[in-house]
Amino acid sequence: MTTPARRFAQALAAVALFNGLLYLCLGDQLRAADKEAEAKKYTEALKKGKDAKAKADALHELGKLAQVQKSLVAGALPDIYKALDDKDAGVRAAAAYALGQCDEPADKAVPLLVKVLKNDKSDDAKIGAIKGLAAMGPGAKTALGDLRTVIKESDKKSKIGKAAQQAIKSINASSK
């Protein structure tokens, strides 16, 4: 004999089981939709942001999303490139690093990152460019000479020198 409480518990268990299976089946689609929504939000923050910190934060998040799936940030790429010339050094640094994470063609991205590395007056922007080159891995091999020059021209124990050394290791380690 089943009591009403027992039938209720069985029905509740069946509903929980169904919901769990549904989540397992649809979870990837839900997470993908969440990532797309995040990418749109950060792209808008980058496009319309007046605050340098908000732009830099958006660039950091877009870089992370690009590592998950490049197509998530496809709509933001023109703004990422544009941010390389922003008046704020923190935004330029974040843009350079994000660009390196976006898996853009090396013949397009490496020269821009090397330009930031060579010409920018801000150490933060230069370090962002170095991190961007490191994130590109073997695609940034053409920048190895420029990174070695940075090491020679700077104190090897400085932030720029250390970042350049690490980038060379990352680029070479990735290409083995």
pLDDT tens digits, one per residue of 19-66: 777 667 655 554 556 878 888 999 999 999 889 999 999 999 999 999
DSSP annotation of 158 reads S
Helix ranges (DSSP H) in the chain: 4-48, 52-68, 77-83, 89-101, 106-119, 123-136, 144-153, 159-174
Q: Is pTM beyond 0.85 here?
A: no
Tokens for 49? 């942001």
* All structural domains of the chain: 25-104 (1.25.10.10), 106-176 (no CATH)
pLDDT band at residue 119, thresholds of 50, 70 and 90?
very high
